[in-house]
Structure 1
Amino acid sequence: MTQSPDSKPDEGGPGHSMVRFHSFLHGGTSSLLSTIPTLVVFPVYKTVFRQQIHNNPVHQAVGQLYKEGPVKLYRGVAPPLLMRTLNGTLLFGLQDTIFCQLSLSSQNIISTSALPALAGFGAGVVEAVVFTPFERVQNVLQNGQNDRHLPTLQSVLVRLKAQRPALGYYRAFLPIAARNALGSSLYFGLKGPVYAVVEGQGLSPLASSFVSGALTSMAISLALYPLSVLVANMQAQVGGEVKGVVACWRMLWKSRQRSVTLLYRGGSLVILRSCITWGITTALYDRQVKRSG
């Protein structure tokens, strides 16, 4: 777990720098190890994606993937695996780095209890800048409608590179930045208090870390799920008529018959994915930090 709000980093000392370096290392290692369940649950993620794009019930989305066959089932898995590892490295490392800097410079201007969330917000913005292209490529690859004219990863990369950034690699950047910044802020702001509550019920530290990560990420995923649906619909196509964020949201809301239930189609599978991946990542990260401390 990142430093508690009450801990004080060593001002300017070598230990201060080492804390930040270890955060990058631990974040990357825990995320790399969690790529195994990411690989296992990728079909679940792809099922959710198809529901987000085509507004299908789960059985129709599964039937669509079954008809395409096992070869195409894992089409688009490379970007999330790579992104998962790099994401953990950057997210945990940056959050702890920003947290330490804020702790040194805030001078009681900012409440110490708010510092983890504020640092998470900053880390989430940087995360969006770095990983929006990965998500764009992933969503294009996972859309079965692109299989014919964009059959390979290389063809997708060439096509996106030919377009200006706002239409190519950085399509839907604003909703991604909002989702990642808010999500990271909530994750780092809530997982410490949730951990304390869970540990108070008599669970072991490792189990408490897993449960806190799973519960926190589950709540965040559900709260921000509409933004993920919006991003998927904005990024799945390449070319054609280009609309802004507001226009795309209006089209999405209309296509879901102005129903929150239909907008959240696939949300239950997001809970499953979040519980597995972020629960394991949080447990592994906290364990590494405690061992090195």
Structure 2
Amino acid sequence: MSVSKDVKPLPFVYQFIAGAIAGVSEICTFYPLDVVKTRMQLERGQSPSLVKSFQNIVRQEGFARLYKGLVPPLLLEAPKRATKFAANDFWGKTFKQMTGSKEMTQSLSILTGCSAGATESFVVVPFELVKIRLQDKATTFKGPREVIKHIVRHEGILGLYNGMESTFWRHLWWNGGYFGTIFQVKAMLPKADTPKSQLLNNFISGTIGGFVGTAINTPFDVVKSRIQGTQRLPGVVPKYNWSYPALALIAREEGVRALYKGFVPKVLRLAPGGGVLLLVVEFTLGLFRKALGPPYI
């Protein structure tokens, strides 16, 4: 997100609110695709197609199952998205100061995005863990509270951070691809000279950024789902424990294609979702700037 030299950046609280509103908007629209994606990633061997997975869930478990585990992501989305955009803004300013660069560059955009993703990962792990346990077809948990109590009782409070390392890599690579692509695509699009064309550019660049980020980070998402979907037992070494060894293990046992399980529902969510995300963020920030007036507009 860039502003002209004459416009003062908005305070952190407005970045936070805009990111929160955008995150909640995106998840309410695309959540069923996330449920299907997780189911496909947890499958060993050949997993059903996107359409077949949807049909199986609705027919066998009811339509409401597509929204099972929605509470943790809803509770997470506000701080997660707010952290994403606020961290991106913070790291962007920091790296420009460190390098003496007055303008954002492609390499700085990627570095900024990766750093924002790494920052974001520390916020999301417990929520992601609870969501995965609820989305699993074999789950016996009735709600988030029951999952949390079970994890703390059997694994301790640190058990809520099971999958921290894989979540770190998932978010680092997605954000690097997302924000780096947005910078490049915006530079290639015709200059926006009206609010409508600006919103269109944001949607296009955000959608393409979402696709690229998803293509880069899906293998790490598969690994994260496998790690967080396995309940740890005392004295038993988990089959999937660390990201890069797990990537090699899955590729060896199930083939390289298995690293892209759930890619279709994931990209159907995160490509347009990335566009919606950026669109809502920029639109909301625009409203804030108008309401505050100079020097923010």
2:190 to 199, 208, 213: 199
Alignment partners' CA distance in 2, 1:234 and 1:190: 29
Structure 2 counterparts to residues 115-126 of structure 1, below 5 A:
115-126=108-119
1:46 to 35, 55, 71: 35
Alignment partners' CA distance in 2, 1:170 and 1:69: 31
Cα drift, residue 102 of structure 1: 3.1
Cα drift, residue 225 of structure 1: 0.7
1:175 to 159, 166, 170: 166
Cα 1:199–1:84 change in 2 (3 A) is farther
The 8 Å contact of residues 214 and 267 in structure 2, kept in 1 or not, is answered as yes
The 8 Å contact of residues 88 and 112 in structure 2, kept in 1 or not, is answered as yes
Corresponding residue for 1:138?
131
Corresponding residue for 2:147?
156
Q: Deviations over 1:246-288 (max 9, x none)?
A: 55434423442x2x33432331222211123211111121233
Quick check: 1:68 aligned with 2:67?
no
**Structure 2, unaligned stretches of length 5 or more?**
290-296
Corresponding residue for 1:280?
276
The 8 Å contact of residues 52 and 232 in structure 1, kept in 2 or not, is answered as yes
Cα drift, residue 60 of structure 1: 4.7
The 8 Å contact of residues 179 and 227 in structure 1, kept in 2 or not, is answered as yes
Cα 1:74–1:33 change in 2 (3 A) is closer
Q: RMSD of aligned C-alpha atoms?
A: 2.7
Structure 2 counterparts to residues 220-235 of structure 1, below 5 A:
220-235=213-228
Alignment partners' CA distance in 1, 2:183 and 2:286: 14
Cα 1:62–1:26 change in 2 (3 A) is closer
Alignment partners' CA distance in 1, 2:52 and 2:253: 17
1:29 to 21, 28, 43: 21
TM-score scaled by structure 2?
Answer: 0.82
Cα 1:112–1:173 change in 2 (3 A) is same
Corresponding residue for 1:252?
250
The 8 Å contact of residues 210 and 273 in structure 2, kept in 1 or not, is answered as no
**Structure 1, unaligned stretches of length 5 or more?**
none
Alignment partners' CA distance in 1, 2:192 and 2:82: 31
Cα 1:34–1:44 change in 2 (3 A) is closer
Corresponding residue for 2:294?
none
Alignment partners' CA distance in 1, 2:284 and 2:55: 41
SS at match of 1:211: helix
Aligned residues with identical type, % of pairs: 21
The 8 Å contact of residues 9 and 103 in structure 1, kept in 2 or not, is answered as no
Q: Deviations over 1:210-238 (max 9, x none)?
A: 01101111111012111101111111122
Cα 1:78–1:107 change in 2 (3 A) is same
Cα drift, residue 93 of structure 1: 0.9
Alignment partners' CA distance in 1, 2:61 and 2:71: 18
1:86 to 79, 82, 95: 79
Corresponding residue for 1:219?
212
The 8 Å contact of residues 146 and 237 in structure 1, kept in 2 or not, is answered as no
Quick check: 1:268 aligned with 2:264?
yes
Corresponding residue for 2:203?
210
The number of residues matched between the two structures is 276
